[in-house]
Each structure stands twice: as structure tokens, then as C-alpha cells.
Structure 1
Amino acid sequence: MSEREHDPFVLAAEAASAIAEQTGVDRHDTALVLGSGWGEAADLLGETTHALPADGIPGFHAPAVVGHVGTIRSVVTPTGRRILVLGARTHFYEGRGVRAVVHGVRTAAAAGCGTLVLTNGCGGLNEDWTPGTPVLISDHLNLTAASPLEGATFVDLTDLYSRRLRDLAREVDPSLEEGVYAQFTGPHYETPAEVRYAKTIGADLVGMSTALEAIAARHAGMEVFGISLVTNLAAGISPVPLSHDEVIDAGQAAGPRISRLLADIVDRV
């Protein structure tokens, strides 16, 4: 393959072009990546005018995780804004490489999105955050030993997760708390020792997504808003063994409430 065919930004531009061609929408304003528990939010944002199979768009793949949908949706809000809903998240542990993990983010930027909303289901390190608690992400710890940036690409991450957008979220729900999210590689859950380590170095939340995507979004010039759903207490804190079924169940139980919350927040973004 040529160098051009290897270029992840060329692939993102091709994906954005395919989305524009198949939807008839030249430009989107905001992108959403919907993680475990957050899927219902898309239906509350406005009218879904197009739902595209993700694996039919260059660079995208069918989701590998139960609970994630495999579509890319174009939603028009009552005010006429266009939302690109990315339901086909590629996780680092799938082994497709970091470029694949952040392809959706780069596609959203190429499609015109100036704001990226990242959501996830995660483990909580604060015992007061019971399963079903939404928590704003104020910062992250990237514990994957990887970066979506290649070569001498130096990007300031000081204010990666927008304070402005967190303040807007608190206008919707003043009770929202915030914390630092630590991305581990997965797919195994963290050990109790790893959870203690994460807490010691400043984490409040642990999961397997989000940080790499946020870095790519900042590089692309997007404003980033992150919000986690605590689906379980982390290992060593939880009194029961961890399981993906627990994550799914917590997401389903909290789904209507947090989806309404997210839709109301996105309406202000």
C-alpha cells in the first residue's frame, strides 16, 4: 500500500466523505460516542434521519462488545443542529491498533464536528458513587502505554476535558460530581492491587476506553466533554466478583435517567 493509503487522516476523510454521501448531510456539529448504558440518549436528541451500518464506512468495524450498537447515526435536533452518533467504538484490547481506536474521533473531526462527547461505563473507586451514578470526567490517566499521536506531535492536554462544558452540565444537574478517569488496556478487569495503585496516583474511575479518544480529539482541535456511568465498584472495593453482566444490568437500570441527562446536556453544548 502507498503512504497515502496508510495515512489515518486520509482514511478519516474518506469515512467522513462516505457519511456525507450516504446521509446527504455535508457537515455535522457535535459527535457522541455512546458507551455502556448511554445508548438511549441518541433517541432523545432529536430525529434520526439516517442510521448507517458502521462496517460499511471506511475504517469502521462491527462492535466487539455486547451492549454496543453497530451503527453511525445522523440526528437533527429541534434547533437544526446535526449530531453524529458513533455507536461502533473500537476498544484498545481488540488488537486493531491505536489508529483504529481513534478512527471514529478523527472521522467526526473530518465531518466538521467541533465538539466531542465521550461516555463510558466504568468502575468506581469512591464508595459513595453507587452503580448508576453519572460522574463528569475532569482529567484522565492514560495507563495504556500508548498514544494516538505519532512522531514529533506535541499537544498540550492541560485542559483536555472542557471546564466550560462541565459547567454547562452542572446547569442541567448541579449535583453532578467529577473525577479523574484511568484507562487500563483490558479486556480483563483490574486487580485489587491495580485499583489501589490507580487510586494512589489520583484516579477516581477506571475503565477501558475514552483517554486515547480524548487525546486524538484535542489534537484534531475539538472541545471534549466526558462523562462516566459508574456501573460497579472496582475490584477490591466491590463486595462481589466483577462481571460484564453486572455492567450491562447497571447500564440498563440507569439508562432512561442518564440518557435524559445527557440529551439535556448536549442540547446546551
Structure 2
Amino acid sequence: MKAKVEESISYIRNLIGDFNPEIAIILGSGLGELAEEFKNKTKIKTEKIPNYPQPTVEGHAGNLVFGELNDVRVLGFQGRIHFYESGEIENVIYPVLVANELGVKILIVTNAAGGLNKNFKPGDLMVIADHINFMFLNPLLIFPQNLKRMNHPAYDDRLKKIAIETGIELGISIREGIYCGVRGPNYETPAEVEMLRKIGCDAVGMSTVPEVITANFLGMRVLGISCITNYAAGISKNKLSHEEVTAVASKVKNEFSLLIKEVIKKIKQIGI
């Protein structure tokens, strides 16, 4: 794995030179347009990067975008890799390993998620307070030496506070809740949704958890934001579809972009 990542980094460095991103953003389904707002950007197709796994799901373009956002050097991942696409956990966490090798210290991970909390509605943005790993996968098993236990919150408390306060200031419908990660690729049954609600989950999706575990292991500080794109099965009578997910994400992309840009601005001002 290390040799593969180093080969990827060598290719990337030939294109970006000594540009060192401070913050990386993994952009979930329908949320990738934020990277188009980067200034002085360099876009690299992931299919050109040696060893880099390819996203196959609609709404995940497959680009690494380097640039500046509110005078902060950033790396945007337009597209993520879900476990169900390949069945290889190494593919899922590969973007985090690349970001780490490039010197990234803060990871903002976003996703499109189904709403379990009946007080939430499609279009809400939810700051992830914590997660429940119902993927039953742990990427740390691929690191054979020097394993560390997570002895701090998975999601950074200061970053959560900044995101929530910023959302309120901007008048955005901002929530905070527990994200449950499942393997997919099927949507949850009504019975599964009811079970997840009873154990305290506010949103459910098919990503994020492995990336966050890996980022914590590597010493990054993490902020997680879910876009609630639909009510989960049993809460809504409508048939669930990926088209609905991407459509709702597209509708809130302006609020999402504004929130992320202002959060990054505050991170720089405070000097986290």
C-alpha cells in the first residue's frame, strides 16, 4: 500500500509542484461543484493517477482539484469510492492516505444521507456529532504495526462548533446528529430504519466511517457534514432512488458551498 501511495504522490507532485494543501474536502454525491469555485486550481483526473481507485457511482466525477478557497490551500476530492463498488477497504481510504502524504492536517468529509430523525427534512445540513459503524469494517486492520486506539473524539469538537455557529449565522438549516455508516449498495428496509432510529441514529449512508477512522489514525482533525437528501424507508412513502439523492443535493449546493467556504475562512482566522 505504501509503495502504491508513493507512486500516486510522485505523479501528483509533478503536476502541482510544491503546492501543499492545508485542508482536504471529500465531496459526497451531488456536492462536487464546490471544487469548481477554487481559485488558481489544478484539476487531475483520477484515472490518470497511478494506482488510484476509480469511482463508479453517478455524481462522483473522479477528480482531484487543488486550489485556494478564501486564501486557504485546499484539495477537493470530486468523487469518493464506496466499499460496495469494489469490496476493497484499501480503495475506500486511498484518498485519505493521499491527503495525508500531501501534508493535509484537517479533513472535511461530506456525504448525502438518508434522514432518520423525523425532525429533520430533506435539504438540511447535519454536522456529524459522532458515528455508528454498521459497516462492520475497520480500515486499521491493514496497518500491521503501531496500531493506536482512538482516544479522542472522531469528529473535532472545535470544528463542529465552528460549523454549527456558522450555519446559524448564515441562516442555513443546520442540524447536529449521529451518522450511521452501512455497506450498501441497497437502501435500508423500513425495519432496519426503525432499528437505527431506536439506537439513536439521525442519518444513514454508505460512506464516511472508514475515511474518518483512517484520518483519526493518521492524526488529522475531522469535520463531517451530511446533506439530508431524503427520508429513509418507512419514514417516507416515496420509493427511494439515487436520482432523488443527487437532485436534493443539487438544490442545496449553494448553501452547502457557502457553509464550507465560511467554515474554512474561520478556521484560517482562528488558526486551528
Aligned twin of 1:87? 78
Amino acid across the alignment from 2:205: G
Q: After superposition, give the CA deviation of every residue in 1:124-158 in whole Å (9 maximum; x if it has no partner).
A: 01122111100000100111121111146232154
In the superposition, the TM-score normalised over structure 1's length comes to 0.91
Alignment partner of 1:238 is 2:236: yes
Alignment partner of 1:50 is 2:42: yes
- Closer, same or farther in 2 for the Cα pair 1:78/1:201, shift >3 Å? closer
Matches of 1:149 and 1:78, distance apart in 2: 34
Aligned to 2:32, what secondary structure does the other structure show? coil
Question: Aligned ranges for residues 1-269 of structure 1 at < 5 Å?
Answer: 8-44=1-37, 46-79=38-71, 81-150=72-141, 151=144, 153-156=147-150, 158-174=152-168, 176-269=174-267
- Closer, same or farther in 2 for the Cα pair 1:171/1:43, shift >3 Å? farther
Unaligned runs of 5+ in 2: 268-272
Aligned-pair CA distance for 1:202 = 1.9
Matches of 1:64 and 1:9, distance apart in 2: 24
Name segments (4+ residues, structure 1) moved above 6 Å.
none
Unaligned runs of 5+ in 1: 1-7
Matches of 1:157 and 1:140, distance apart in 2: 15
Amino acid across the alignment from 1:42: A
In the superposition, the TM-score normalised over structure 2's length comes to 0.90
Aligned to 1:240, what secondary structure does the other structure show? coil
Aligned-pair CA distance for 1:170 = 2.4
Aligned to 1:149, what secondary structure does the other structure show? helix
Matches of 1:14 and 1:105, distance apart in 2: 15
Aligned twin of 1:4? none
Q: After superposition, give the CA deviation of every residue in 1:177-226 in whole Å (9 maximum; x if it has no partner).
A: 21110011001001111111212222111000000100000011100000
Aligned-pair CA distance for 1:17 = 2.8
Matches of 1:234 and 1:48, distance apart in 2: 39
Q: In 1, are the aligned partners of 2:69 and 2:264 still within 8 Å (CA)?
A: no
Aligned to 1:203, what secondary structure does the other structure show? coil
Matches of 1:100 and 1:88, distance apart in 2: 12
Aligned to 2:140, what secondary structure does the other structure show? coil
Deviates more, 1:112-121 or 1:243-252: 243-252
Matches of 1:144 and 1:71, distance apart in 2: 26
Amino acid across the alignment from 1:169: A
Amino acid across the alignment from 1:64: T
Aligned-pair CA distance for 1:37 = 3.0
Q: In 2, are the aligned partners of 1:118 and 1:224 still within 8 Å (CA)?
A: yes
How many residue pairs get aligned? The number is: 260
Aligned-pair CA distance for 1:123 = 0.2
Q: In 2, are the aligned partners of 1:131 and 1:250 still within 8 Å (CA)?
A: yes
Matches of 1:125 and 1:209, distance apart in 2: 16
Q: In 2, are the aligned partners of 1:59 and 1:103 still within 8 Å (CA)?
A: no
Matches of 2:105 and 2:89, distance apart in 1: 22
Aligned-pair CA distance for 1:26 = 4.1
Matches of 1:119 and 1:254, distance apart in 2: 13
